[in-house]
Amino acid sequence: MIEALKEAKKAYAKKEVPVGAVIVKDDKIIARAHNLRETKKNVLAHAEILCIDKACKKLKSWRLDGCIMYVTLYPCQMCFGAIKQSRVEKVFFGALDSNTYEYDKDLFEYIENNECSQILRDFFKELRKE
């Protein structure tokens, strides 16, 4: 989660919603990404989607069997679908979205991380000041 938080901080510095993700296979990070929707002017540029894309290229496969994702915020429905389709084995997330009530506990595991929640609160607090 520390590496995913580093990615979230990169997004924050770019005035992007601070979400970061990493994908691990065989105890090695094979992909990392952070939100870039504003930068790329692309609705698909979520941290999870970008990270999955990088991992697929690295493994030369759309199947991410045996991979684990760490993401700072519970994924939106678009990212949830991409994660399921990519066959990621497990997803650990550090913060719940206020819209998250139920989640697939077989695939997703909440590892509460105050820093993951705090960076999001700080970002939106700053955004409201502008």
State how far the Cα of 96 lies from the Cα of 110, in Å rounded to an integer: 8
What count of other Cβ atoms lies within 10 Å of the Cβ of residue 56? 18
Give DSSP secondary structure letters for 69-81: EEESS---HHHHH
Q: What is the CA radius of gyration of the chain?
A: 14
Secondary structure of residue 5 in the 3-state scheme:
helix
Report whether 32 contacts 7 (CB < 8 A).
Answer: yes
List active site positions. Answer: 48
